[in-house]
């Protein structure tokens, strides 16, 4: 029962040099129900019991063992920090009666589990963003006109709704692509929809922060006038290391102020873990192959 309250190598993160900050969290990309890959990655990370694991969302769906993934991460206790992704929202929406399952979903094991209500309760109490004062974790991204303080306040608005008694009604209202641009005057459903879409679905936007949802390919496929959200000039969150997943076609990318973690495990590529040091020279990468995952 859940309480409601550089080249990969084995044990790479357990053998960091003595001057490395051992409290630096480890970021892990989108798992999407691939529990075998998750277990192999955790074993490969070695003895890092005092190190926080930051999961970039999309814990479930499309992979073969979504229920096992949830239970494995819950077993990690407070060591595991995870934010909500779009597939996690989809599961919550099905549980709320706001969505029907889609072709290709692999969520029935969760919904049919004897402790399904507890699992859903745990999931809807996960944040949309996590910030430790040095780095910020979000599933998809941050609109260019949001600084970290604003983004955290907006994320909190959604978290309050998800954790409240009317969470099922709330999930009925947040689906769709409109409006596609943030305005401070937005209220109600429109306001919530933009916040959720930016933090869990966005890949491309324009210089005004107008989001584009039809394209999910690599940056070279950006529609005319759009660019990856992290490349928008004068982005207000550019002074903070932003860690995210969601974009499998982008792959594992590390810049000074961003780390993209989704390396396509569920598509037969890699599941990646990165030491989230703010100094790029001190980052270590550990990966497991997922070619047999599907």
As for how many domains the chain has, the answer is 1
Domain annotation covers residue 294: no
Domain annotation covers residue 16: no
- The whole-angstrom separation of Cα 190 and Cα 186 is 6
Domain annotation covers residue 99: yes
Domain annotation covers residue 2: no
* pLDDT per position as a tens digit, 248-261: 999 999 999 999 99
Domain annotation covers residue 5: no
Provide the mean pLDDT of the chain.
Answer: 91
* pLDDT per position as a tens digit, 73-113: 999 999 999 999 999 999 999 999 998 999 999 999 999 99
Q: What is the CATH number of the domain that holds 279?
A: 3.60.21.10
Domain annotation covers residue 145: yes
Identify which of 162, 3, 190, 5 has the alpha carbon closest to the alpha carbon of residue 96: 162
Domain annotation covers residue 12: no
In which band, very low, low, confident or very high, does the pLDDT at 5 lie, cut at 50, 70 and 90?
A: very low
- The whole-angstrom separation of Cα 204 and Cα 188 is 24
Position 10 pLDDT exceeds 80: no
pLDDT value of position 294:
56
For residue 155, give its domain range. 25-289
Position 192 pLDDT exceeds 70: yes
For 267, residues 6+ apart whose C-beta sits below 8 A from its C-beta are 248, 290, 294
Domain annotation covers residue 134: yes
């Amino acid at each position: 029962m859940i309480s409601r309250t550089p080249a990969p190598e084995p044990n790479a993160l357990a053998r960091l040099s003595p001057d490395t900050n051992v409290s630096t969290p480890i970021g892990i990309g989108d798992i999407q129900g691939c529990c075998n890959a998750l277990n192999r990655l955790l074993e490969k990370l070695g003895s890092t019991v005092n190190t926080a694991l930051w999961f970039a969302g999309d814990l479930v769906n499309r992979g073969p063992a979504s229920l096992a993934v949830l239970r494995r991460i819950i077993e990690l206790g407070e060591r595991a920090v995870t934010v909500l992704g779009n597939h996690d929202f989809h599961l919550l929406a099905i549980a709320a009666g706001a969505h029907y399952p889609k072709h290709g979903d692999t969520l029935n094991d969760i919904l049919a589990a004897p402790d399904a209500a507890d699992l859903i309760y745990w999931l809807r109490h996960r944040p949309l963003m996590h910030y430790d004062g040095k780095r910020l974790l979000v599933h998809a991204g941050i609109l260019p006109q949001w600084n970290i303080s604003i983004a955290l306040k907006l994320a909190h608005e959604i978290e309050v709704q998800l954790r409240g008694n009317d969470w099922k009604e709330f999930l009925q209202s947040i689906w769709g692509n409109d409006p596609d641009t943030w305005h401070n005057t937005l209220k109600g459903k429109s306001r919530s929809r933009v916040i959720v879409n930016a933090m869990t679905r966005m890949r491309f936007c324009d210089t005004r922060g107008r989001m584009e949802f039809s394209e999910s390919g690599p940056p070279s496929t950006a529609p005319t006038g759009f660019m990856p959200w992290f490349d928008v000039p004068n982005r207000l969150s550019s002074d903070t290391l932003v860690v995210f997943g969601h974009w499998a076609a982008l792959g594992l990318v590390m810049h000074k102020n961003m780390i993209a973690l989704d390396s396509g495990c569920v598509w037969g590529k890699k599941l990646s873990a990165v030491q989230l040091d703010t100094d790029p020279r001190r980052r270590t990468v550990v990966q497991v192959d997922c070619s047999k995952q599907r």
